[in-house]
Chain A
Amino acid sequence: MLVIVDYDAGNLRSVLRACEHEGIPACISADPQEIMDADRLIFPGVGSAESAVDTLHARGLDKAMRDFFATGKPMLGICLGSQIVLQKSEEGHRDCLGLVEGVVEKFDLADKTLKVPHIGWNEVEILRPHPLLSRIESGDEFYFVHSYFTRPANAEDVYGVTDYGGRFCSMLGHKNLFATQFHLEKSGKKGLSILAEFGVWDGCV
């Protein structure tokens, strides 16, 4: 069973609905044991990194997610869920899960006509192939809503970038983990295709 991790960070039901639409059996859980027993894991999220990290910690889910990652089973982070896998976030200066080396920074754009948060549809440029991106090509657009972005330390963890007053990492991957800054569950058929591929991914790159 695919488990969607409940850490009080946003509309989990929209991800659940998208899974149902793609024919992927899924449930929502905040129980560390259920999470460890899952075949695959999605951690969506909107809101702030500080409250998300605090909730994960309070529920013992940070350890569960680290242990799950170590099993090699597939994991997918969405939006805020893509940020909490790094080591540190500027938002609330929190230590995050540390599954991927790197940090989360706030947009500080030289072009002051660009608005923050970055809201709307924007293009991705794919830097390296990944099983989840088999139906995606550079130039495809996805729906973003965020003020912070990830900066993985290792270039090989960056799978895609997006331009908003400069290029930022919009898709990252490390071993059995993949994560998108955009809301793939709100990005039409292109977004749903990533979810569908995740539903059958074996976690190997």
Chain B
Amino acid sequence: MLSKRIIACLDVREGQLAKSVKFVDTRDIGDPIAKAKEYYEDGLDELVFYDITASSDKRDIMLDVVEAVAAQVYIPFSVGGGIRTVEDANRLLWAGAEKINVNSAAVLRPELISECAYAIGNQNVVLSMDIKQVKVSDTIPSGYEVVINGGRTPMGLDALAWALQGEALGAGELVVNSIDADGTKAGYEINLTRMIAEAVSIPVIASGGAGKPEHLLAVLTEGKADAALVASMLHFGEYTVSGLKQWLHEHGVKVRLKYA
């Protein structure tokens, strides 16, 4: 039986680990390579790096981070942030990433998903969606809207419709990130996650809002997510990967426990 995955998300800005609250206020909190290694040793299932470097001329720093992580960490990891072309995706794969995450650029130009899927395989293309709850309307029948630019720009695009379109274009996995829940530590957006997980036939990774082990339990059971993304719970040392997995195991969730 397949295990539920715990995925650590590391936001990297100019080579440094950063953590945002509601996508606006970010502060640097350490070395992403050391963190990645630490979590790997402690039984993490997968890693995601988001490059939040603002200026494009400093983006090559991320390639060095990816190279260094790939030399030390032998679990799957994906990289997102600033991928606009197949060439961007290939550079990251060559540096050692397993998968790439596309987000805003795919909303603006959906063919990016199919181009990447053709070039590097569906299974290596993750569509990351930033989503905000809105009033149900004709354009947004699900009541959830896709936003870009770190949550600042609403796109008039229904989140459920976008998830299905992303799957049809060749995305191999979906990250469902709730902008409302992000950074609140008040729990994942369960309704949103379940709605999308039930609609698509590719794995769904829940993101945004994790603060307690109970939140992971809820999204992996009620929320029907295949994997849960965590960030600050781990980054500030409040919880450990092995501790979280042991707790989930004791609460009936199948997770990978033997990794040493």
Interface residues of A (CB under 8 A from B): 10-11, 13-14, 17-18, 20-21, 46-47, 115-123, 139-141, 143, 145, 163-164, 183, 185-192
Q: Kindly list chain A residues whose C-beta atoms are within 8 Å of the C-beta of B1.
A: 122-123, 163-164
Given contacts A122-B2, A188-B40, A190-B258, contact A117 B75 (CB under 8 A): no
Q: Kindly list chain B residues whose C-beta atoms are within 8 Å of the C-beta of A119.
A: 123, 172-173, 203, 226
Asked whether, in the complex, the Cβ of A120 is within 8 Å of the Cβ of B74, the reply is no
Instruction: Determine the distance from Cα of A188 to Cα of B77 in the docked complex, in whole angstroms.
Output: 12
Interface residues of B in 71-121 (CB under 8 A from A): 71-72, 74-76, 93-94, 96, 98, 121
Asked whether, in the complex, the Cβ of B123 is within 8 Å of the Cβ of A17, the reply is no
Cβ contact of A188, chosen from B70, B74, B93, B123, cutoff 8 A: B74
Cβ contact of B75, chosen from A17, A20, A122, A186, cutoff 8 A: A186
Asked whether, in the complex, the Cβ of B74 is within 8 Å of the Cβ of A122, the reply is no
A22 closest partner in B (C-beta): B74
Q: Kindly list chain B residues whose C-beta atoms are within 8 Å of the C-beta of A47.
A: 121
Does B35 have its Cβ within 8 Å of any Cβ on chain A? no
Interface residues of B (CB under 8 A from A): 1-3, 5, 40, 43, 45, 70-72, 74-76, 93-94, 96, 98, 121-124, 172-173, 201-203, 226-227, 256, 258-260
Chain A to chain B contacts (Cβ below 8 Å), 20 pairs: A10-B121, A13-B96, A21-B71, A115-B201, A115-B202, A115-B226, A119-B172, A120-B203, A120-B226, A120-B227, A121-B3, A121-B256, A123-B1, A140-B258, A141-B258, A164-B2, A183-B76, A188-B75, A189-B259, A190-B259
Instruction: Determine the distance from Cα of A38 to Cα of B98 in the docked complex, in whole angstroms.
Output: 27
Instruction: Determine the distance from Cα of A87 to Cα of B158 in the docked complex, in whole angstroms.
Output: 47
Asked whether, in the complex, the Cβ of B74 is within 8 Å of the Cβ of A185, the reply is yes
Asked whether, in the complex, the Cβ of B260 is within 8 Å of the Cβ of A14, the reply is no
A146 closest partner in B (C-beta): B123
**Beyond A13-B96, A47-B121, A119-B172, 10 extra complex contacts between A and B, CB < 8 Å:** A11-B98, A115-B201, A121-B5, A123-B1, A163-B1, A164-B2, A188-B43, A188-B74, A188-B75, A189-B74
Q: What's the A-B contact tally at a CB cutoff of 8 Å?
A: 83
Asked whether, in the complex, the Cβ of A14 is within 8 Å of the Cβ of B70, the reply is yes
In the assembled complex, the CB of A28 is this many whole angstroms from the nearest CB of chain B, namely 13
In the assembled complex, the CB of A22 is this many whole angstroms from the nearest CB of chain B, namely 10
B257 closest partner in A (C-beta): A141
Q: Kindly list chain A residues whose C-beta atoms are within 8 Å of the C-beta of B5.
A: 120-121
Q: Kindly list chain B residues whose C-beta atoms are within 8 Å of the C-beta of A18.
A: 74
In the assembled complex, the CB of A168 is this many whole angstroms from the nearest CB of chain B, namely 13
Instruction: Determine the distance from Cα of A188 to Cα of B6 in the docked complex, in whole angstroms.
Output: 14
Given contacts A13-B96, A188-B40, A191-B74, contact A117 B172 (CB under 8 A): yes
Given contacts A17-B70, A186-B76, contact A117 B123 (CB under 8 A): yes
Asked whether, in the complex, the Cβ of B258 is within 8 Å of the Cβ of A186, the reply is no
Instruction: Determine the distance from Cα of A83 to Cα of B205 in the docked complex, in whole angstroms.
Output: 29
Asked whether, in the complex, the Cβ of B259 is within 8 Å of the Cβ of A17, the reply is no
Asked whether, in the complex, the Cβ of B96 is within 8 Å of the Cβ of A46, the reply is no
Q: Kindly list chain A residues whose C-beta atoms are within 8 Å of the C-beta of B98.
A: 11, 14, 186
